[in-house]
Amino acid sequence: MKSIRTWLSSTLTLIALALASLSASAENMKTLGSLDVHYMAIGATFLTPQVAKSYGIERSKYNALINISVMDNTKANKPAKAVGISGTALNLTGQYKRLEFAEVREGQAIYYLAQLNFRDKEKVKFEINITDGNETHQLVFDQTFYVD
């Protein structure tokens, strides 16, 4: 429970405005082996200018932020876990983009941020590879983005 509170408080500045928006999807979680992977993709305009600047995120109505956080579910308090992470984004017209994730650490929290340009009403399929030691897991999800 403590690690969930830690994760939520550390990412609150990144998602506060997104939660109020109808075009943003809710935060999602998927269990992949010993990892609980929290993920979301939102339009970057939902970030305040100060938050976007502090993380080096382009705040544009055509820019999305992908946020991934990984927790170790083998431990009682499910602490944040540092992992190797890479991924791609593919739209319906077959355009492919490699995502460049930056690791962010705030206290006990660890999360990975990437940016992606999009067009209005564009549906994107994300394939995220998460490597923990000798194990690699794949997280796949779709997100439709809207211009605000």
Cβ–Cβ < 8 Å for 52, 45: no
Position 22 pLDDT exceeds 60? no
Confidence tier at 115 by pLDDT (50, 70, 90): very high
What is the domain class of 2-83+100-120 according to CATH? mainly beta
Confidence tier at 13 by pLDDT (50, 70, 90): very low
Q: What is the mean pLDDT of residues 59-85?
A: 96
Q: What is the mean pLDDT of residues 15-41?
A: 70
Distance CA 51, CA 38 (A): 20
Distance CA 138, CA 148 (A): 30
Q: What is the mean pLDDT of residues 36-45?
A: 95
The residue ranking higher by pLDDT, 26 or 120, is: 120
Rg (CA), the chain: 15
Output the pLDDT for position 50. 93
Output the pLDDT for position 148. 79
pLDDT averaged over every residue in the chain: 86
Position 113 pLDDT exceeds 80? yes
Task: Compute how many other C-beta atoms are within 10 angstroms of the C-beta atom of residue 44.
Answer: 23
Position 15 pLDDT exceeds 80? no
Output the pLDDT for position 26. 54
